[in-house]
Every structure is written in C-alpha cells, then in structure tokens.
C-alpha cells in the first residue's frame, strides 16, 4: 500500500563524498517520535544483538561511530528482557540523516533454482566456487590516499591484471579446472541468483543445498534493468525482475548479450547451518535485514526507512552489502525465501527518507 514518507531535515549533500561523515550529517527526529511497529522492533532487536560483536570491534568506514560508542547499547541489548523493544531503541539511540536523506530501497530474496551437483542433460550451466588465482588487494596498504579501496584480479607474468569478466567465464575461461560447485538448469535464473548473492539449489531428487557468496571477479556491476529502460526494451510495468526475466527468455540471443554487459560474476560456496549469510558473516532475516553501503552506514546499525510503500517502511538492520548498493541512503531490503518473497523483492522500488540509528552521543562527538 502507498504511504507518505516523513519529511527530511533540510540539508545539502556533498556530492562525490567518500563516506557518510564527508557527505554531511544532521540530527534527525527523536527515535520516540518514529512509528516503530512493535513486532518489527522485536525482530530488529534480535538482529542487532547478533551484530553487536562485530560493531564493537569493526572500524566504521562511514566515519560516524567508534567501537566504544556501540558498547553501551550492545550491553543493554544483551540484558534487555522486556517486550517493548521500541522503547529500547528510543532509550539508547538517536537518529542521523546523511545528506538530504533521500532514500531509495529495492528488494532482494533467497532464490531457489533447479540444479545438479553433476553435469547432466538439462543441467549444463556451471556454478563456480572461488578460483584460487583470484587475488584481492587492499590498496590502503600501499598508499594512505587509497585507504578503503580494494581491487580483485589475477597475476599474469609479473603483473596484476583484471580477472576474467562474465563473457570470458561463460566462454570457458574457468572450464576444466574442477571449480564447478554445481550445474544450473537455467542461465537466467543463475544470473539473478548472482545478483541476490545467495540462494538454494533444488536438486533433481528434491534435496535442497544452500549456497552463499564467496567473492566476486572485481568487475563493475551493471544493472541490466536500467540498460533495458534506456533502450526502450521494456514496456510500462515491465521493469520488475519478473518483467526483465520474461524479456530475456523471449529474446535469448539478445538477452545473453545483454547479460554479458554486466561484467560482474559472483562465486559461491556451500553453506551449512542457518542462512543465508550477509556481509557480516551472520544469517540475514527476512523483513528485518537490509543491505547498505558500509561507507555510508555502519554495518550492524539499525535504520528507520520512512517510505512511500508501507510494506518496506519501518525499522531495518544493515547486515549486508551489495554490488549495486552504493552511496548514501541506498538500501536493499531482504524478504526471505519463497514465492511471496520473490514477488515482493522483484517489484520493490520505494522512495522516501532514511534515518540511521546511532548510539546516543555520536552526534555530539561529531559536533552535530
């Protein structure tokens, strides 16, 4: 259902800023004034507790918080036994708006695709594990001016060169190396599973195997939906994941070429136990966890999204990242698994205002 987002605090945003602190931070409304659903608050508190061990030891790339600032709220979360979780957040947190606060929220889910652990008739699309020659270099170790920047590639002779892109991998750059984790039945389904970052493989005997992200080839992510809109390939109302998939299947040759324009390729590993796992190495929860850019949101922090869609509005916890989720106030909400999650996430595009929940005192330290 449509909804009316809360107005943002009047502010300007510094374009091209490297992180949230540089983009501009202003105080938002009191947490107690936000309409936080009681059930969502309880679920968010559970997710926040899981994130706390990381929050108190991880350097915050956003520049908004210090490890010590999270400790009081995290300690209180472990002790909290009441049913009114919204009061917990109002007691220990204050809101901050990054730049103009203008938020865009999309959705993702845990897809389930048909696959086989062995190549066989009808299952011939390789799902690759991380190759041993894929190297990740932290450029900050070489220059302070490159702090926070990383590249992935492979060694060729004495040089570090870009890793194989999607087209090269589909043409067999990794074939014959024993890297196949499984074989998918449908290249379009695998393409979208890579976008989601994790999923379930439904084997021919009905067994379910869960797989999760285990690195990426270092090539830039290109959203094919935007390309299709620019080229007039989608009719009004077709811009959802379902509409894009239908076009790709109806136009297999053009669709294959279009998918190759997204040079990014994701490698997977088999998961056991709870999942899927987010960027913190923790299980993500449907209707609770969201992906964000860690340069603009402390990973593990609660976020209140006031959006023009009621299903996506409310309290979320930033526990994941995504190749397309970059910049201030950009979020990808996680909806779980199953047909309903697929339908909601595939058509999710909501706009409004984002308020980060930071430990009380953070704004004062920043002079805000």
- For residues 308-314, average pLDDT: 96
Placement of tokens 């379902």 in the chain:
242
- For residues 117-143, average pLDDT: 95
Model confidence pLDDT, tens digit, residues 3-43 = 899 999 999 889 899 999 999 999 999 999 999 999 999 99
pLDDT band at 332 (very low <50, low <70, confident <90, very high): very high
Q: Report the distance separating Cα 154 and Cα 308, nearest Å.
A: 44
pLDDT band at 2 (very low <50, low <70, confident <90, very high): confident
Q: Provide the CA 7 distance to its chain's centre, in angstroms.
A: 25
Q: Which of 262, 246, 276, 239 is nearest to 112 (CA)?
A: 276
- More confidently predicted of 83 and 238: 83
- More confidently predicted of 234 and 295: 295
Q: Report the distance separating Cα 175 and Cα 341, nearest Å.
A: 34
The dihedral through the CA atoms of 179, 185, 189, 193 has a sign that is negative
| Element holding 39 (H helix, E strand) | helix 38-55
How much of the chain exceeds pLDDT 90, in percent? 83
Q: Comparing 12-16, 86-90, 120-124, which segment has the lowest mean pLDDT? A: 12-16
Residue 48 confidence (pLDDT):
98
């Amino acid at each position: 259902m449509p909804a009316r987002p809360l107005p943002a605090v009047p502010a300007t945003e510094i374009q091209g800023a490297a992180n949230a602190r540089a983009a501009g931070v202003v105080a938002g409304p009191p947490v107690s004034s936000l309409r936080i659903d009681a059930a969502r608050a309880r679920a968010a508190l559970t997710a926040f507790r899981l994130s706390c061990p990381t929050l108190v030891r991880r350097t915050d790339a956003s520049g908004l918080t210090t490890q010590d600032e999270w400790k009081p709220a995290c300690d209180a979360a472990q002790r909290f036994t009441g049913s009114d979780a919204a009061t917990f957040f109002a007691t220990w947190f204050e809101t901050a708006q990054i730049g103009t606060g203008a938020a865009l929220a999309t959705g993702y889910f845990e897809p389930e695709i048909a696959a086989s652990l062995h190549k066989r008739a009808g299952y011939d699309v390789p799902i690759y594990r991380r190759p041993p020659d894929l190297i990740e270099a932290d450029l900050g170790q070489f220059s302070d001016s490159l702090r926070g920047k990383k590249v992935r590639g492979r060694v060729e002779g004495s040089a570090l060169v870009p890793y194989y892109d999607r087209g090269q991998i589909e043409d067999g750059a990794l074939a014959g190396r024993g890297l196949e984790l499984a074989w998918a039945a449908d290249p379009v389904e695998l393409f979208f599973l890579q976008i989601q970052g994790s999923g379930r493989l439904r084997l021919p005997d009905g067994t379910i195997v869960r797989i999760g992200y285990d690195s990426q080839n270092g090539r830039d992510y290109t959203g094919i939906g935007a390309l299709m809109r620019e080229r007039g390939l989608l009719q009004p109302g077709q811009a959802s994941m379902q509409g894009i998939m239908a076009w790709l299947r109806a136009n297999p040759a053009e669709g294959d070429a279009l998918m190759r324009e997204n040079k990014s390729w994701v490698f997977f590993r088999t998961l056991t136990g709870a999942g899927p796992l987010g960027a913190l190495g923790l299980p993500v929860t449907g209707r609770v966890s969201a992906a964000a850019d860690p340069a603009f949101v402390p990973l593990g922090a609660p976020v209140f999204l006031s959006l023009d869609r009621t299903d996506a509005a409310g309290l979320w916890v930033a526990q994941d990242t995504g190749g397309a989720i970059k910049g201030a106030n950009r979020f990808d909400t996680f909806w779980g698994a199953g047909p309903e999650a697929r339908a909601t996430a595939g058509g999710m595009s909501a706009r409004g205002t984002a308020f980060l929940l930071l430990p009380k005192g953070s704004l004062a330290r920043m002079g805000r």
